[in-house]
């Protein structure tokens, strides 16, 4: 039985159409995937469902009755619940307070919050997700990002005032979750489905979608292009539908073998919150770094990049290297793609060319001081072509670009100084399939020219597809370094959890 039906939804922002005609139908007791590249219109559609954005035209009905959504309040009353990419939380408040935010707190004597009852209710909510390791009285900000997301998710599952929840809309819920955390979420989603609720699930992770969803609707350029049963469609078909052409291989083949020449050599370098680390990266090599969340990957990269102090010098290109700041690292020929592109990688209010040249500004300027914008724009345009950036001009503000193209600007910036070592922290997170392939191709091109790459990723197929060797981090130490060839996903996963020995 159809719970939610949308017909001919259109929406334009000014003269720019975001939705040109979307049909979507979600049955009760179904997990329905909404797929499409960044910019296909998924977010706009979800905002319309949430009552935040008003459509230009739309026929929306629930259980066969025509409805107008109009406001977030109305959406809530219709039984719609939303879990967004960006979470609205207050880090200084406790887990329980965040879960029950916007809802009535249990009271005592009509005046005082019954904290014990509140914490108890929060504990029960969390347990529904199989979460027992989070203390409801703890400040939310003290939790890991993954745990914070779990708390956020759990708060959407509370049965409550204003009618029962009928449809859960999840937008990239697993972006910050580890595999086991994601698994727990999936268990809950299956439970909800068994109870007759509908789930609209947005994710770039195809494996997840293939695993837990029943149906999929694919959007492209503001239209719904196809709807079908997941069981009837292959991974490759889905990708082809999303990007409108077939992609032969998920990972472009390596063009050359790594050379013997060592680019970076670290020996017993102490890492904050971790143990001393030794590793070598060679010219033309991709060294993958695997590990569960917070196993020390980020601090390792930040130490090499000079953002965290290094107690001992490393060797870079045969010379002693001990950076005291990111500026030192850029100067020494290291490029860095940080994990959070909007908060760490980009200045979205500034033009593409200013972002591209920022680390290399002195070398682009006269007497290292006076700006030469024309030259900067030429460099930015050349770099933009290299990374297959789609933008109207080098003057365009980064804010106006899609997620995949924003990430390409981060690459353009890192590569503009022709680095000999590139540090990548989750370079394809939240990036659509087409842009992902472009990014992998860029990495291949760069290694073919002799650049060394360190790739931190929680996406195991990505590590297996791109890396030559994989260093497995556990508890702030490198536990194993193994060749990627012949390694399976299962074995790599077991290594990250320390269930088997390397070699």
Partner 1 sequence: MLTLLRRYGTLIGFAAILLFFWISLPETFMTARNWLNISQQMSMLIVVAAGMTIVMVMGDFDLSVGSMASLAGIVAAVLLTLDYPIWVAISLALLLGLAGGAINGALIAYVGILPFVATLATLTMLSGAAFVVSGGKTISGRAIPEEFGNFARGGIPLGEWGGVAVSLPNLTVVALVVVVLVWVLLEQTTFGRRLYAIGGNIEAAHLSGVAVRKLKLIAFALTGGTAALAGIMYASRVASANPTQGSGLMLNAIAAVFLGSTLSEHGEPRLLYTILGVLVLGVLDNGLTQLSVDSYIRQILVGGIIILAVSTSSLTKGLRSR
Site residues (CB under 8 A) for partner 1? 53, 305, 307, 325-327, 329-331, 336, 338, 343-350, 354, 358-359, 361-362, 365, 368-371, 397, 413
Q: Which is nearer to partner 1, 61 or 365 (CB)?
A: 365
Three-state DSSP class for residue 372:
coil
At residue 225, what are phi and psi to the nearest 5 degrees? -95, -25
> At its nearest, how many Å lie between partner 1 and the CB of residue 57?
18
> At its nearest, how many Å lie between partner 1 and the CB of residue 182?
27
Rg of the chain's alpha carbons, rounded to an integer?
A: 24
Q: Which is nearer to partner 1, 53 or 479 (CB)?
A: 53
Q: Which is nearer to partner 1, 211 or 400 (CB)?
A: 400
> Is the CB of residue 236 less than 8 Å from the CB of residue 250?
no
What are the C-alpha distances in Å from 470 to residues 425, 450, 461? 14, 19, 12
What are the C-alpha distances in Å from 369 to residues 296, 327, 353, 469? 38, 16, 17, 42
> At its nearest, how many Å lie between partner 1 and the CB of residue 326?
5
Q: Which is nearer to partner 1, 369 or 392 (CB)?
A: 369
- Side by side, the strands of the sheet bearing 314-316 are 277-282, 262-269, 314-316, 319-321
Q: SS in 3 state form for 253-308?
A: CCCCCCCCCEEEEEEEECCCCCCCEEEEEECCCEEEEECCCCCCHHHHHHHHCCCC
Q: 97-125 burial, b if ≥16 CB within 10 A, otherwise e?
A: bbbbeeeeeeeeeeeeeebeebbebbbeb
> At its nearest, how many Å lie between partner 1 and the CB of residue 102?
23
Q: Which is nearer to partner 1, 14 or 486 (CB)?
A: 14
Q: Which is nearer to partner 1, 97 or 376 (CB)?
A: 376
Which residues are CB-neighbours of 347 under 8 A, at least 6 positions away? 354, 355, 358, 398
Q: DSSP label at 141?
A: G
> At its nearest, how many Å lie between partner 1 and the CB of residue 471?
23
Q: Which is nearer to partner 1, 236 or 340 (CB)?
A: 340
Q: Which is nearer to partner 1, 256 or 362 (CB)?
A: 362
> At its nearest, how many Å lie between partner 1 and the CB of residue 186?
33
What are the C-alpha distances in Å from 90 to residues 20, 87, 96, 394, 455? 37, 9, 11, 37, 32
Q: Hunting for tokens 């390792």 — which residue is that?
A: 300
Q: Which is nearer to partner 1, 136 or 323 (CB)?
A: 323
> At its nearest, how many Å lie between partner 1 and the CB of residue 14?
8
> At its nearest, how many Å lie between partner 1 and the CB of residue 284?
25
> Is the CB of residue 137 less than 8 Å from the CB of residue 95?
yes
Q: Which is nearer to partner 1, 225 or 348 (CB)?
A: 348
> At its nearest, how many Å lie between partner 1 and the CB of residue 348?
7
Three-state DSSP class for residue 79:
coil
What are the C-alpha distances in Å from 21 to residues 10, 24, 69, 230, 448? 5, 10, 18, 23, 44
Work out the number of other CB atoms within 10 angstroms of the CB of residue 48: 24
> Is the CB of residue 465 less than 8 Å from the CB of residue 457?
no
β-bridge partners, 281 = 264
> Is the CB of residue 348 less than 8 Å from the CB of residue 406?
yes
> At its nearest, how many Å lie between partner 1 and the CB of residue 303?
14
Q: Which is nearer to partner 1, 231 or 370 (CB)?
A: 370
> At its nearest, how many Å lie between partner 1 and the CB of residue 347?
4
């Amino acid at each position: 039985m159809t719970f939610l039906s949308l017909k001919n939804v259109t929406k334009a922002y000014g003269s720019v159409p975001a939705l040109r005609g979307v049909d979507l139908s979600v049955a009760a007791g179904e997990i329905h995937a909404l797929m499409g590249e960044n910019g296909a219109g998924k977010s706009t559609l979800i905002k319309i469902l949430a009552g935040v954005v008003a459509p230009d035209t739309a026929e929306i009905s629930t259980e066969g009755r025509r409805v107008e959504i109009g406001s977030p309040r109305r959406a809530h009353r219709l039984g719609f619940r939303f879990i967004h990419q960006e979470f609205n939380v207050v880090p200084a408040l406790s887990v329980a307070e965040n879960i029950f935010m916007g809802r009535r707190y249990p009271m005592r004597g009509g005046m005082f919050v019954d904290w014990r009852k509140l914490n108890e209710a929060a504990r029960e909510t969390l347990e529904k997700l199989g979460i027992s390791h989070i203390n409801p009285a703890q400040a939310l900000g003290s939790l890991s990002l993954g745990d914070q997301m779990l708390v956020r998710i759990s708060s959407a599952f509370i049965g409550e005032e204003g009618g029962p929840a009928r449809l859960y809309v999840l937008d990239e819920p697993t972006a910050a979750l580890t595999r086991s955390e994601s698994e727990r979420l999936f268990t809950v989603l299956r439970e909800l489905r068994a109870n007759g609720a509908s789930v609209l699930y947005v994710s770039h992770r195809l494996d997840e979608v293939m695993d837990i969803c029943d149906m999929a609707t694919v959007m492209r350029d503001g239209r719904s292009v196809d709807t079908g049963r997941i069981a009837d469609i292959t991974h490759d078909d889905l990708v082809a539908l999303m990007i409108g052409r077939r992609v032969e291989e998920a990972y472009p083949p390596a063009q050359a073998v790594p050379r013997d020449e060592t680019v970076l050599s670290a020996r017993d370098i102490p890492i904050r919150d971790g143990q001393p680390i030794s590793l070598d990266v060679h010219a033309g090599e991709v060294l993958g770094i695997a590990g569960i969340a917070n196993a020390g990957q980020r601090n390792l990269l930040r130490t090499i990049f000079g953002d965290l102090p290094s107690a001992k010098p490393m060797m870079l290109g045969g010379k002693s290297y001990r950076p005291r700041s990111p500026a030192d690292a850029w100067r020494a020929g290291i490029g860095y793609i940080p994990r959070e592109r909007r908060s760490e990688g980009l200045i979205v209010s500034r033009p593409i060319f200013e972002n591209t040249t920022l680390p290399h500004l002195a070398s682009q300027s006269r007497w290292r001081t006076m700006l030469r914008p024309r030259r900067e724009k030429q460099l930015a345009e050349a770099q933009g072509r290299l990374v297959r950036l789609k933008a109207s001009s080098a003057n365009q503000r980064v804010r106006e670009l899609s997620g995949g193209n924003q990430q390409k600007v981060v690459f353009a910036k890192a590569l503009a100084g022709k680095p000999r070592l590139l540090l990548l922290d989750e370079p394809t997170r939240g990036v659509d399939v087409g842009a992902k392939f472009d990014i992998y191709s860029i990495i291949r091109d760069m290694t073919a020219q002799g650049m060394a790459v360190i790739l931190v990723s929680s996406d195991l197929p990505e590590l297996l597809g791109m890396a030559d060797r994989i260093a497995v981090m556990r508890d702030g130490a490198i536990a194993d370094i193994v060749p990627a060839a012949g390694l399976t996903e299962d074995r790599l996963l077991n290594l990250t959890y320390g269930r088997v020995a390397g070699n």
